[in-house]
């Protein structure tokens, strides 16, 4: 089994465990206001159902991922799981009740902003992974799966390395994940609101839904980034050592050449990505004061009927 597989397999497990943690420990639904009537209880049930479904789908897909043997398929497994989980959560979002009857009422408040930290983490992880993939493709050898160097008297190569062979499917999976997540976020934003009496519950449920989608997508992307950066780092370090041992004429060799520097940087990126994945899992969807409606000085108007 390749090094990539050895890295990505635990990464898949980590994703499953991470989503479980989201539901069980950080309490995505913990901020939901209590409800005493049917509408509120139904809304709370719906949020709990979505969280449960997210955990269940993650577990099933994580279990199936263990049977994947192909190294390229394994490389995209965390992103594929994240995409499918986001897809399932989005489909559930579309089942919220739609307005009916001739008399319809809606609040005039704009939708809550998406959780800022998660949103930034998601975009940061996406661009970082894309950057590592593009960089890997540029550095890799013609086979797209190794990195090497040649000099007058010899050559050396190290693999696996995230060249085009791995970067292309990862980038395709990343694009798909971004598209599905964006669709999910738009679905959450545009789903019909509960009535004015349940405005606070509606707001909390919407923030929880947005956080759920962003969490899953961010964790999938960060774990792929960690795996990819770690594999690239290992190959570069191995290549640099090999060059030194063979006495290759590398400019600026002592004590490290640029490959060694890059390997260390990528290792830091991998560790940082894992740390940020944990942050994405445990961060609160929003600050408590942001979840509360902003009070206005003036009294609301009355629509006489």
By CB under 8 A, residue 111 contacts another protein: yes
- SS3 state of residue 109: coil
Nearer to another protein, 64 or 106 (CB): 106
Q: Is 108 in the site for another protein (CB under 8 A)?
A: yes
Does residue 99 touch another protein according to CB under 8 A? yes
Nearer to another protein, 97 or 154 (CB): 97
Judge contact between 155 and 249, C-beta under 8 A: no
Site string for another protein, 155-194 (x = CB under 8 A): ----------------------------------xxxxx-
x/- site string to another protein, residues 271 to 300, per CB under 8 A? ----------------------x--x-xxx
* Interface segment toward another protein; rule CB under 8 A; list 18-26, 104-112, 120-128, 224-232: 104-112
Which residue shows structure tokens 């901020």? 31
Which two three-digit tokens encode residue 57?
Answer: 């789908």
Cβ distance to another protein smaller for residue 5 or 213:
213
Using only C-alpha atoms, what is the Rg of the chain?
24
Alpha carbons within 13 A on the beta-carbon side of 104: 10
Contact at 8 Å (CB) between 124 and 269? no
- For position 33 contacting another protein by CB under 8 A, the verdict is no
Residues 78-91 as b or e (16 or more Cβ within 10 Å = b): bbbbbbbbbbbbbe
Note whether 119 binds another protein by CB under 8 A: no
Among residues 142, 196, 124, 179, the alpha carbon closest in space to that of 150 is found at: 142
Question: Segment contacting another protein (CB under 8 A): 30-38, 63-71, 100-108, 139-147?
Answer: 100-108
Q: How many CB atoms are closer than 10 A to CB 51?
A: 22
Binding site for another protein (CB under 8 A): 98-100, 102-111, 189-193, 196, 199, 293, 296, 298-305
């Amino acid at each position: 089994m390749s090094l990539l597989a050895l890295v990505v397999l635990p990464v898949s497990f980590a994703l499953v465990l991470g989503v479980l943690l989201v539901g069980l420990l950080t309490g995505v639904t913990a901020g939901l206001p209590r409800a005493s009537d049917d509408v509120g209880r139904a809304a709370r049930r719906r949020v709990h159902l979505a969280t449960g479904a997210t955990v269940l789908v993650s577990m099933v897909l994580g279990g199936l991922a263990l049977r994947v043997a192909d190294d390229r398929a394994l490389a995209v497994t965390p992103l594929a799981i994240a995409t499918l989980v986001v897809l399932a959560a989005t489909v559930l979002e579309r089942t919220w009740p739609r307005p009916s009857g001739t008399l319809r009422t809606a609040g005039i408040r704009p939708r809550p902003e998406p959780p800022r930290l998660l949103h930034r983490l998601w975009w940061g992880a996406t661009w970082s992974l894309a950057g590592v993939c593009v960089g890997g493709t540029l550095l890799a050898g013609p086979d797209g799966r190794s990195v090497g160097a040649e000099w007058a008297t010899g050559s050396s190569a190290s693999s696996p390395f995230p060249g085009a062979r791995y970067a292309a499917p990862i980038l395709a999976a990343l694009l798909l994940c971004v598209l599905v997540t964006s669709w999910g976020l738009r679905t959450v934003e545009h789903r019909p609101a509960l009535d004015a009496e349940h405005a606070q519950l509606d707001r909390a449920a919407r923030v929880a839904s947005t956080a759920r989608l962003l969490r899953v997508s961010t964790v999938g992307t960060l774990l792929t980034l960690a795996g990819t950066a770690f594999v690239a780092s290992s190959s570069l370090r191995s290549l640099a050592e090999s060059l030194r041992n063979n006495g290759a004429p590398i400019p600026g060799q002592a004590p490290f050449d640029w490959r060694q520097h890059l390997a260390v940087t990528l290792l830091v990126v991998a560790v940082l990505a894992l740390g940020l994945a944990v942050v994405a899992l445990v961060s609160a969807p929003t600050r408590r004061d942001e979840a509360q409606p902003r009070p206005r000085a003036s009294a609301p108007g009355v629509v006489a009927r």
